[in-house]
């Protein structure tokens, strides 16, 4: 029986040496240490042996069992470490590889221009306000000296929305930011220095310099002793900030019912440098804004005494500014969502 024990231990260790994967260990355990293993049979047969022999063989058989169990535990540990090492060598993460670049968004060129315009005027002491895109006839026209049937309504091809029965007022998409002159003056008392950026809408055919939805920035300054020289000084300073000292600026008379006198500013065309081209309708200039001294009737309507106070207002087209700065020859590029165009800014 001693010999049998020695042989089965050798045989079991030999087999254990050949196990190369963790899952092979369990079947080895069942075969060599399980209920039907040769070792268990030896242990069971101890009962039939004489006492002395039973003690001796029993101790040896148990020793064999303990030694095989510890060999199993050792082998398990070895295989687990081996498994982990080979897993790590396969799955190793190379943290030196550069990551996938995340495409960064950018501000639309019109938004960038709006921010620049606002920062120039706020540095001159103007505050920024915003108003509704859907406006009443009263603010868009009547309060600005444009009653129904006034021919100046034709200047602003209007998108009408509806008509409110109770007040008899018509609602429209504002055709300019000038209604905010009235809203601001209804709320604030002079001195007022305000700019109003926002979208405006016109029922117009589009072309290289006209869109049916575009941005304007309104400006309004009301105080004692404000003159046309203040208007001209502020607007020329603004043009120089945006276009540089060298760029030619044209300031000449224009008509708007809500100012007196009225003026417009045009900048030398960026495409032809004044020679005349499709962009500037062969005039050499592109108009960027209308302006003037606020009409006394407009001031009276909001309870500001024109004998005491005076002021100027202006309204500029925002898209035309980047067109003139970067030589963009079609306003429709801003809203056609072509990334090849937008990514240049
Ligand atoms: C006005 O809208 C007046 N409210 C401006 C004003 C304000 C005058 C305060 C006096 C006092 P006008 O329609 O000219 O004026 O438009 C002003 C500017 O908006 C133009 O100079 C031009 O730069 C721009 N603009 C006008 N129509 C369009 C259009 N369809 N597409 C793009 N820009 C336009």
pLDDT tens digits for 102-117? 888 899 999 999 999 9
DSSP state of 145: T
High-pLDDT (> 70) share of the chain, % = 100
pLDDT of 1 above 80:
no
Does the Cβ of 178 fall within 6 Å of ligand 1?
yes
pLDDT band at 223 (very low <50, low <70, confident <90, very high): very high
What is the per-residue pLDDT for 177? 98
pLDDT of 79 above 90:
no
What mean pLDDT comes out for the span 219-246?
96
Does the Cβ of 288 fall within 6 Å of ligand 1?
yes
pLDDT of 266 above 80:
yes
Question: Tokens standing for 18?
Answer: 């050949």
What mean pLDDT comes out for the span 81-95?
83
pLDDT band at 37 (very low <50, low <70, confident <90, very high): confident
3-state SS of the chain: helix, strand, coil percent to 5? 45, 20, 35
In ligand 1, the atom with minimum distance to the C-alpha of 212 is 30
What is the per-residue pLDDT for 322? 95
Decide if 80 contacts 22 (C-beta within 8 A). yes
Give the whole-angstrom CA distance, residue 219 versus residue 291: 9
What is the per-residue pLDDT for 300? 98
Give the whole-angstrom CA distance, residue 126 versus residue 218: 11
What mean pLDDT comes out for the span 239-244?
94
The pick from 139, 152, 176, 180 for probing ligand 1's pocket by mutation, whose C-beta has the most ligand atoms within 8 angstroms, reads: 176
CA distances, 201 to each of 132, 159, 172 (Å): 12, 7, 9
Question: Tokens standing for 7?
Answer: 């042989």
What is the per-residue pLDDT for 113? 97
Decide if 285 contacts 250 (C-beta within 8 A). yes
Does the Cβ of 37 fall within 6 Å of ligand 1?
no
Paired strand residues for 251: 265
How far away, in angstroms, is 315 Cα from ligand 1 center? 6
The pick from 253, 315, 323, 332 for probing ligand 1's pocket by mutation, whose C-beta has the most ligand atoms within 8 angstroms, reads: 315
pLDDT band at 12 (very low <50, low <70, confident <90, very high): confident
Q: Whose CA is nearest to atom 31 of ligand 1?
A: 210
Give the whole-angstrom CA distance, residue 18 versus residue 127: 86
CA distances, 118 to each of 59, 74, 189, 237 (Å): 97, 77, 22, 14
What is the per-residue pLDDT for 272? 86
pLDDT of 240 above 90:
yes
pLDDT of 92 above 80:
no
pLDDT of 22 above 80:
yes
How far away, in angstroms, is 158 Cα from ligand 1 center? 13
Cis peptide bond N-terminal to 191, omega within 30: yes
Does the Cβ of 193 fall within 6 Å of ligand 1?
no
pLDDT of 52 above 90:
no
How far away, in angstroms, is 145 Cα from ligand 1 center? 17
pLDDT of 190 above 90:
yes
How far away, in angstroms, is 317 Cα from ligand 1 center? 6
Q: pLDDT, tens digit, for every residue of 243-254?
A: 999 999 999 999
Give CA angle at 88 (86, 90), nearest 5°.
70
* CATH for 109-342, options being 2.60.120.380, 3.30.930.10, 4.10.520.10, 2.40.420.20: 3.30.930.10
- Three-class SS state of 93: coil
High-pLDDT (> 90) share of the chain, % = 61
pLDDT band at 277 (very low <50, low <70, confident <90, very high): confident
Does the Cβ of 141 fall within 6 Å of ligand 1?
no
Alpha-carbon torsion (84, 87, 93, 94), positive or negative: positive
pLDDT band at 226 (very low <50, low <70, confident <90, very high): very high
pLDDT of 158 above 90:
yes
Give the whole-angstrom CA distance, residue 95 versus residue 73: 36
CA distances, 85 to each of 25, 71, 126 (Å): 19, 21, 69
What mean pLDDT comes out for the span 15-24?
88
Paired strand residues for 263: 253, 291
The pick from 155, 290, 294, 295 for probing ligand 1's pocket by mutation, whose C-beta has the most ligand atoms within 8 angstroms, reads: 290
Does the Cβ of 295 fall within 6 Å of ligand 1?
no
Question: Tokens standing for 113?
Answer: 């221009």
Residue of 134, 131, 129 whose CA lies nearest to 118: 129
Give the whole-angstrom CA distance, residue 5 versus residue 148: 118
Which has more confidence, 49 or 179? 179
Question: Tokens standing for 275?
Answer: 């020679």
Q: How buried is residue 197: exposed, middle or buried, by Cβ count under 10 Å (0-12/13-18/19+)?
A: buried
Which residues, including other chains, have CB under 8 Å from residue 193's CB and lie 6 or more apart? 124, 125, 126, 127, 220, 221, 223
């Amino acid at each position: 029986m001693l010999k049998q024990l020695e042989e089965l231990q050798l045989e079991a260790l030999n087999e254990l040496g050949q196990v190369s994967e963790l899952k092979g260990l369990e079947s080895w355990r069942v075969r060599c240490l399980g209920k039907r293993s040769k070792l268990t049979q030896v242990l069971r047969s101890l009962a039939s042996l004489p006492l002395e022999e039973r003690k001796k063989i029993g101790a040896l058989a148990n020793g064999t069992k303990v030694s095989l169990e510890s060999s199993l535990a050792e082998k398990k540990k070895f295989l687990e470490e081996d498994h982990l090492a080979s897993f790590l060598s396969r799955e190793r993460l190379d943290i030196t590889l550069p990551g996938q670049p995340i495409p960064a968004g950018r501000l639309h060129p019109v938004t960038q221009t709006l921010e620049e315009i606002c920062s120039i005027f706020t540095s001159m002491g103007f505050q920024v306000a915003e108003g509704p895109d859907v406006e009443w006839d009263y603010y868009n026209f009547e309060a600005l000296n444009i009653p129904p049937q006034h021919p100046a309504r034709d200047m602003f091809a209007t998108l009408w929305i509806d008509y409110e029965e109770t007040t008899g007022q018509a609602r429209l998409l504002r055709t300019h930011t000038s209604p905010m002159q009235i809203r601001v003056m209804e709320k604030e008392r002079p001195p007022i220095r305000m700019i109003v950026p926002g979208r405006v809408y016109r029922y117009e055919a589009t072309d290289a310099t006209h869109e049916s939805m575009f941005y304007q920035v309104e400006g309004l300054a009301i105080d004692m002793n404000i003159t046309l020289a203040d208007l001209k000084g502020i607007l020329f300073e603004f043009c120089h900030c945006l276009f540089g000292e060298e760029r030619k600026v044209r300031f000449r008379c224009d008509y708007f019912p809500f100012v007196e006198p009225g003026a417009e500013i045009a900048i030398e065309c960026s495409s032809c440098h004044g020679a005349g081209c499709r962009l500037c309708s062969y005039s050499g200039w592109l108009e960027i804004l209308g302006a003037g001294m606020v009409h006394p009737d407009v001031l009276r309507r909001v309870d500001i005494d024109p004998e005491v106070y005076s002021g100027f207002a202006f309204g500029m087209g925002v898209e035309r500014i980047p067109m003139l700065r970067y030589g963009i020859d079609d306003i429709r590029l801003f809203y056609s969502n072509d990334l090849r165009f937008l990514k240049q800014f």
